[in-house]
Amino acid sequence: MTNKTDYYSILQVSSDATNEDIKLSFRRLARKYHPDLNPDDPETAERFKLISSAYETLSDQTKRTRYDRERRLSSKQDSRTTVSKSYSSSYEYSSSATGNSAQDFFSRGLSKSKSKQFQKAIKEFSKAIELDPSFIDAYLKRCEMRYKLGDNQGVLDDCYRIIQISPSVPKAYYYQGRARFSLGYSQAAVDSHSEAIRQDKNYAQAYYYRGIAYQDIKDNSLAVDDWNIASQLFQKEGNKDAYQLTQKKIKSIRGGGFGLNSLLIGFTRLINDSLTTFFTYFLNPMGGLATSFNRLSSSQLIGVGILYGICTDLCLTMSGYIITGSSLNFVPTISPLNAWDLVIINFFPFIFMVIVTIFARLVNRVHFSLAQDLFLAGAVCLPLGLACLLISLFVTPQGVLSLSLLMFLVFGLSYGILTLFAGLTQIIGLPEGKSSFFSPLMIVICLSFYSLVNSMFIGN
């Protein structure tokens, strides 16, 4: 047996060392070779795994006795024994044996877990751990299986072993917190989830379940704070179900009230959602629109869509006043209208876009979704409104500069058509051929109705 697989040599102790000697040597070597202290040295990480494996075996009297026996037999036979032989408990595995490596057992465990054969999965993960006691992923999966079966003490044991091997595994503290809470130790659960969050600031589930633990110890304020963070993280991940569940938890604490604070929080989130969505799809309407859509719940889609419609209205109204103030001769028909007339007129493009989108659904027999239609209408109209506002900024006393008019008009129409095409294909689900036909047609119909409403108001 070479020094590479000789646990006594790895821990730098003699074969007759006491448990205390082994423990002291392990602590000394762990401080020296811990991955956290050597983040850019893969060889050190491998060294730490060997040290942990050696300590796992030699610190357990039963395992040490078995290891010493195999070590003596190996020495007598003068043959090289692999690490997997020294780990085995009831089986002798050869490193070259096909299908019997730690990774093979781990893979079979994953397969069993996917088919919900949790007990069998635990057995496979346990065999993987026997072959490789520092196999953290196997411990984590066994944790998960044990938690699903209600074996909370088993979960705690696995978490303790993981933390011994590497104290920087957030998921170990997460499962530790889940198990502690199930056993009734809510404050201890808070501590575990806090450690998971300390190591991973974006651990949404840890925030969510720490909130539940806070609620259990009657600290509702901290619970809501954690759920607010969790909901934002779930939203970024595109996990709508988790987001909606978290929102329900928040409402259950607040009683679904409509106080000033709740309104301010809701409005702030709406602005944040709208800005995030805009900057996501504006630079890439074909690739970013679906991404933005998938991040939002139905209520968020409605809010963002309507806010975009209002912004379009304001852009058109401001452009009307700018153009009128610069040149009454250029748009003489707008001058008799007051502010409210313009606001009412300029909200119609958004309304018409919603209507023609619904019509496109009916023609193509696609199921109705008002949230989707409002969101898509707002996303399409906003570039058109911004284009009109940009055009108005180039107005001169003689009218609008032809180059700026053409440039921004093409920009607004192109962006509107591209966004509508992306929405019809990726959100509503129309084939590309139909979307190519309907996209410009819907824009033309919407602008035609808008022009008609303009004429009606002006005529009165």
Between CA 98 and CA 127 the distance in angstroms is 15
Contact 105, 127 (CB under 8 A): yes
pLDDT digits (tens, 9 = 90+) for 308-349: 999 999 988 888 777 665 443 434 344 445 667 778 888 989
pLDDT digits (tens, 9 = 90+) for 1-59: 433 467 888 887 778 788 877 887 887 777 777 776 666 666 677 778 888 888 888 88
Q: Is the pTM of this model over 0.85?
A: no
Looking at residue 447, what is its pLDDT? 87
pLDDT digits (tens, 9 = 90+) for 244-278: 888 888 887 765 444 566 677 678 878 888 888 88
Rg of the chain taking only CA atoms, in angstroms: 33
pLDDT digits (tens, 9 = 90+) for 44-75: 777 788 888 888 888 888 788 888 877 777 66
Please list, in sequence order, all residues whose beta carbon lies within 8 angstroms of the beta carbon of residue 40, skipping any fewer than 6 positions away: none
At residue 386, what are phi and psi to the nearest 5 degrees?
-65, -35
Model confidence at 79, pLDDT cuts 50, 70, 90, reads very low
Domain ranges within the chain, ordered by starting residue: 7-81, 285-459
pLDDT digits (tens, 9 = 90+) for 96-117: 344 688 888 999 999 998 888 9
The whole-number average pLDDT for the span 125-142 is 92
Domain 7-81 in CATH 1.20.1370.20? no
Looking at residue 84, what is its pLDDT? 37
